[in-house]
Amino acid sequence: MERQTFADGDIIFNEGDRSESAYVIESGKVAILDGHGKAASTIATLEAGEIFGEMGLIDEMPRSRGACAVGDVVLKTMDQEDFVRLLREAPDESLRYIRTLFDRLRSLGATTSEPVATDPNQIAPANASITVFADSKGTSPYVPSQGIRVRRLPFNVGRRSRDPLCRNDLEILDDKPFTVSRDHFAIDRKGQQLLIRDRGSYLGLRVNGQHIGGGLYNARSCELKLGENTVVLGKRGDTFCLKLVVET
């Protein structure tokens, strides 16, 4: 693996470029961009230790997003040969890449079907701010009273687990029979809208009263609305509830 350095504003790759490598941020920050040139908008800002461009380890399809340096940045690049070598020689480190790939593939699967529709006048735009609050005794030990401000998407929620392939931003402790799955749901974006998508949970969840996930033929995502959104993990009951406040 080689290291590359970028100055503030340098383009790492553009949307549509050929994908051949993944990148690990060793220092600095990287903005993930939607669009080209001056019309491009930042949809996420990644920091040291995070991985991006991971689909380059699987195929050579055009990049779906662009990336540029925010300040001085040092990246470690990895191609397919590097990844195979890492799997053999450093399996613990390779799990970081595998987790990221799993999350990306789940996201692609969830967005192939249309989400449960929300009133068009209430749909939350992709640049809105999101704060997660506990809304039940089952979630209050894991969310501070001031809430959790979502800084980047996807924001993953699931059961606390020792599974090395789990990667959650909010972990909730649960006991058998489990209501909360290890990879339960994510707050994410699709195009210019915010949504919640099921990540492959067993029981699914209810978003503003609409049930998604938890079945082969159920809708897998639901658009978020401006204002307060209620999220109940599982098909019924009020043990694990969250409130998402979305503001422009």
Could you report the per-residue pLDDT of 145-166, keeping only the tens digit for each? 999 999 888 899 999 988 766 7
When pLDDT is averaged across residues 63-67 and rounded to a whole number, the result is 88
Beta pairing class for 155-159 and 170-172: parallel
pLDDT score of 160: 93
Give the chain's mean pLDDT: 86
Determine if the pTM surpasses 0.75: no
pLDDT, tens only, 175-192? 988 999 988 999 998 878
When pLDDT is averaged across residues 212-235 and rounded to a whole number, the result is 88
- Tokens encoding 123: 């749909």
Q: What is the set of domains in the chain, with CATH numbers? A: 2-89 (2.60.120.10), 129-247 (2.60.200.20)
When pLDDT is averaged across residues 41-69 and rounded to a whole number, the result is 83
Place of tokens 């230790």: 49
The confidence band for 245, taking pLDDT boundaries of 50, 70 and 90, is very high
pLDDT score of 63: 87
pLDDT, tens only, 79-122? 888 888 888 888 877 887 777 777 766 665 555 455 555 566 67
Which amino acid is present at 161? S
> Does the pLDDT at position 193 exceed 80?
yes
* Most confident by average pLDDT, 18-27, 65-74, 103-112, 116-125: 65-74
Half-sphere exposure of 192 (CA within 13 A, CB side): 6
pLDDT score of 152: 86
- Tokens encoding 16: 């549509």
pLDDT score of 104: 66
3-class secondary-structure state, position 168: coil
More confident call, 33 vs 237: 33
When pLDDT is averaged across residues 192-211 and rounded to a whole number, the result is 90
Cα separation of 235 and 205, whole Å? 6
pLDDT score of 226: 93
Nearest Cα neighbor of 144 from 155, 135, 133 is 133
Work out the angle at residue 128's Cα, subtended by the Cα atoms of residues 123 and 129, and round it to the nearest 5 degrees: 130
Cα separation of 38 and 54, whole Å? 25
